[in-house]
Structure 1
């Protein structure tokens, strides 16, 4: 069954300026979702690649990812990308989301799947109206695709779920960060760093990812030890 992708109405007291964004505003936009949800978006039955056929490089874009960007663009700007304006929609970066035993969740490319063996999601980033002087640190918008009927994922939203769970047509929500529990204070730094590093030599990129992975594991270990100490007290 095909699910309809919807941009939910913002329920913030002061409506977020990027929900939806002004069409003339330069912006870097990242979309992330679980493959089990993305597999339900395409009417022709197109599915996300399985591990053996995943993307080889961060900038060789897969067809489902490009279609996802097109769908999100139409929801955000109420129109299709303008082919006469090359900077209107420019895909920049993509990666798979792998889940492993430790740490619970890290974002790693395919070459490291020996440690994180279950492919669960996908993330793609595109630029809107960014010029050469805007690319280093532009404003960003983070969007997550969430199934309102998923009891775990739906709790990540701050918007009411009932308008999207009572209809006869199944839907998925394209939820901006302003309507999520997580506030994304590091989104801009993280997303722009990913773009800067996307075209680095593979060995450099892998070294940085390994360093980040180790740092993340150490952070989880410190948190676990601190929790254990507090439980003893």
Structure 2
């Protein structure tokens, strides 16, 4: 059984004016440890670690981004709103080759 995504609540009391964020405002989110997160949240999804021939964005990365969007804004990505969710990067610096971290 897959784990659920957990986003901790705002630690400020009262919450700041940007918490929770408004859906009309652009929001940049960085998800650490994509391989581990994807394996836990989407056990059947593949995450390609090849630096040479991997697709971008990867289907599993887009699924993780959409799940995060849904948890933050309480709604699914709106396909009719241009730029509602954009995957801009998939950091691969943690991938090792011959015991060397590739960056």
Q: TM-score range by the shorter chain?
A: 0.7 to 0.9
Give the equivalent residue in structure 1 for 2:70: 74
Stretches of structure 1 that go unaligned for 5 or more consecutive residues are: 101-112, 118-208, 210-233
The reply to whether residue 27 of structure 1 matches residue 27 of structure 2 is yes
Instruction: Say which of 106, 109, 116 aligns to 2:101.
Output: 116
1: CA distance between counterparts of 2:95 and 2:51?
A: 15
Call closer, same or farther: CA 1:60–1:37 in 2, change over 3 Å. closer
Bigger proportion of residues as helix: 1
Is residue 46–residue 64 contact of structure 1 (8 Å, CA) maintained in 2?
Answer: yes
Larger radius of gyration: 1
Could you state the TM-score of these two structures normalised by the residue count of structure 1? 0.37
Give the equivalent residue in structure 2 for 1:48: 47
Superposed counterparts of 1:154-173, under 5 Å:
none
Is residue 55–residue 61 contact of structure 1 (8 Å, CA) maintained in 2?
Answer: no
2: CA distance between counterparts of 1:34 and 1:83?
A: 24
- The alignment yields a C-alpha RMSD, in angstroms, of 2.8
Q: State the number of aligned residues.
A: 102
Bigger proportion of residues as strand: 1
Structure showing greater relative contact order (alpha-carbon pairs closer than 8 Å, 6 or more residues apart): 1
Give the equivalent residue in structure 1 for 2:82: 86
Call closer, same or farther: CA 1:90–1:34 in 2, change over 3 Å. closer
Call closer, same or farther: CA 1:13–1:65 in 2, change over 3 Å. same
The DSSP-based 3-state class of the residue aligned with 2:82 is coil
Could you state the TM-score of these two structures normalised by the residue count of structure 2? 0.74
